[in-house]
Structure 1
Amino acid sequence: MSEPTGATRRRGPFQVGDQVQLTDPKGRHYTFTLQAGNQFHTHKGAFPHDELIGAPEGTVVRTTGNVPYLALRPLLPDYVLSMPRGAAVIYPKDAGQILAMADIFAGARVVEAGVGSGALSTYLLRAVGDTGMLASYERRQDFADIAQGNVERYFGGPHPAWKLTVGDLQDNLVETDVDRVILDMLAPWECLDVASKALVPGGLICCYVATTTQMSRTVEALREHGTFTEPQAWETMVRTWHLEGLAVRPDHRMIGHTGFLLTARRLADGVEPPLRRRRPAKGSYGEDYDAGEPEPTLAERAAARRAARETAPAEARSID
């Protein structure tokens, strides 16, 4: 059985065309592509690429200045943070949440809108595999070109499951029976109609937005659309730790807010979403918002019970 696309570039000795990540004694990273006859230069000296070609991962090379560098293939989180960018990339912490919480599985049919620099596309392609499908839509040609270069550089060539289209999702989406729709754009609420038509019943929509106002509007649009379940929203924050002997403490810097994630499931055709039973907090909606008859408060329920007892016949109130 043939290897999945890109798998041969993730194991074995270093080969020409492989991405290599060097780590210096201070923990700084340098990423480059192996080419026969080339040299890697730093302010601490140089060494020939040929010294790494055919060597196993985990090799230590020394420059002409006798400075050691550890050579490994970059992990995907390292790769996406160091690759050329057009638009800002989705951080690995958010990409991991999308893969897990959107339940991206091998063989899934996924539509992605807002390709940016191709970071999330690379994660999605690894998850769906050669038997899946990723249809990516990007409005800007320059972003699409950068994303295509980054994705193909990582996999060593075109990925068989990927189709990249330049244009608006609303005007160009042709895929049907889609399992997942991922929207990374300024106004995802504008694409709910086409996303709903493309998704299979039980399919999932995941929206990545940067601000609370975008999140609020997207949530309300999902509720009003009528074909999705009650949306869920969250964000993640990552804090690394300093580990030096007994000096074990949180690092002073952390990856805080990068974006909010929203998910909702596609209902079967003709099914109305169940009404929410919880009472919104006072002031959650404007004066012109009509949510129907509100549920009684605890005080109102207690007053109703007292009134019922007072009007009940005496024999009904008596206790044997």
Structure 2
Amino acid sequence: MTRPTGADMRRGPFRAGDRVQLTDPKGRLHTITLEAGKEFHTHRGHLRHDDVIGAPDGTVVRHTSGADYLALRPLLSDFVLSMPRGAQVVYPKDAGQIVTYADIFPGATVVEAGVGSGALSLSLLRAVGEQGRLLSFERREDFADIARANARAFFGLDHPAWTVTVGDLVDALPEAVEPGTVDRVVLDMLAPWDCLGVVADALAPGGVLICYVATTTQLSRVAEAAKAAGGWTPPQAWESMNRGWHLEGLAVRPEHRMHGHTGFLVTLRRLAPDTDAHLRRSRPAPGAYGEDYVPASGDWSAADLGERPVSDKKLRRTRRDAQGTADRVTGMATEGEEEG
């Protein structure tokens, strides 16, 4: 029986090519890729990769300074937060809700746009499995390359269910799928309302559309555009905030820092052909569509949403680093299979 993609990298003793998360006595995290004969250096000394290779997951390894480092395989959430990135990633707290509330299931055909650095793609690929399909669309080729490299580093090879297309979703989606054959669509982009038409054609009746947007203006516009277009259930929207807790004896309290607002999620479901949504049973709030109501319009840019532009120099470096890590991981994994 063939094992699921990437499963061998998640269990067993550490091997050359594995990514390992080292935690020092102060709780600081360091992620390394194991290579025979290499060393992990800090300002106090070093730790030999060979002392980790062959040891079981969860091993404590001694640093030359005398400090003990805990070695663990990074979880998906750890990998996402430490991997090379060209664009802001979808944080694990949101990726988990997208997989759950969009009902991403094994064997599903899922469309994703845009890809960014591939953080959400990893969760979607885990959910659809080898028997599913993830069709990802990204306008920028450099972002697409970084995402592919990150996925290859995480799974150890190119995932068989994943296809990445460089181009605009509105133009490329009708060429990629037959109408009514897509189960789920995930949009992480500046103007998801521009894609409602092609998404509606691609989705099967009952299919789910979930949009990840950063601002209330975007949230309002995508909801109102869907209502105006028809053929969708009433939109539902929410955000999540993640606050950790300090646990030490009786000193149990909230952490001083928390993961606050990252984005809003809005979900809709595709109605059957020639079907209208249920009529509202409640009146809109006073002033919701009053005389001063003006629908948001115009072109959008990342700067409009407060995103910091990423320099071409940094993107080139990130692209190179991501592809280098992926090549080392896949190369060592291939050598291990040949030796085995």
TM-score by length of 2: 0.84
Q: Deviations over 1:194-223 (max 9, x none)?
A: 100110000000000000000000000111
Count of equivalent residues:
289
Partner residue in 2 for 1:157: 157
Distance in 2 between residues matched to 1:249 and 1:47, nearest whole Å: 35
Q: How does 1:162-311 map to 2 (within 5 A)?
A: 162-173=162-173, 174-176=176-178, 177-287=181-291
Q: Is the 8 A contact 1:115 1:138 kept in 2?
A: yes
1:63-115 CA-to-partner distances (Å, cap 9, x unmatched) read 11111100000000010000001000000000000011111111110000010
- Name the residue aligned to 1:112: 112
**Aligned equivalent of 2:84:** 84
Q: Distance in 1 between matches of 2:154 and 2:291?
A: 53
Deviation per residue, 1:120-149 (Å, 9 max, x gap): 000000010000000000001111111111
AA matched with 2:39: Q
CA deviation after TM superposition for structure 1 residue 227, in Å: 1.2
Determine which structure has greater relative contact order: mean sequence separation of CA pairs < 8 Å that are 6+ residues apart, divided by chain length.
Answer: 2
Q: Check if 1:22 corresponds to 2:22.
A: yes
Query: Deviation string for 1:224-255 (max 9, x for gaps)?
Result: 11111001000000110111111111111111
* Amino acid of the structure 1 residue aligned with 2:262: T
What are the Cα deviations for residues 144-201 of structure 1, in whole angstroms up to 9, with x where unaligned?
1111111110000100000000010001112230000000000000000010011000
Q: Corresponding residue for 1:316?
A: none
Q: CA deviation at 1:287?
A: 2.6
CA distance in 2: counterparts of 1:9 and 1:21, whole angstroms = 14
Return the alpha-carbon distance in structure 1 between the equivalents of residues 234 and 292 of structure 2. 22
Equivalent position of 1:62 in the other structure? 62
Code of the aligned partner of 1:154: F
Q: Which residue identity does 1:182 align to in structure 2?
A: V
Deviation (angstroms), 1:48: 1.6
Code of the residue aligned with 1:261 in structure 2: it is: L
2:12 is the alignment partner of 1:8: no
- Which AA in structure 1 matches 2:276? E
Rounded to whole Å, the distance in 2 between the matches of 1:184 and 1:170 is: 14
CA-CA distance at 1:44 after TM superposition: 2.5
- Shift of the alpha carbon at 1:256? 0.7
Q: Which runs of 5+ in 2 are unaligned?
A: 294-340
Task: Give 3-state SS (helix, strand or coil) of 2:105's partner.
Answer: coil
Q: Which moved more, 1:280-289 or 1:246-255?
A: 280-289
Q: Percent identity?
A: 67
Name structure 1 gaps, 5 residues minimum.
Answer: 290-320
* CA–CA separation in structure 1 for the residues paired with 2:78 and 2:44: 23
| TM-score between the two structures when normalised by the length of structure 1 | 0.89
Report deviation, 1:288: 8.4
CA contact (8 A) 1:44 1:67 kept: no
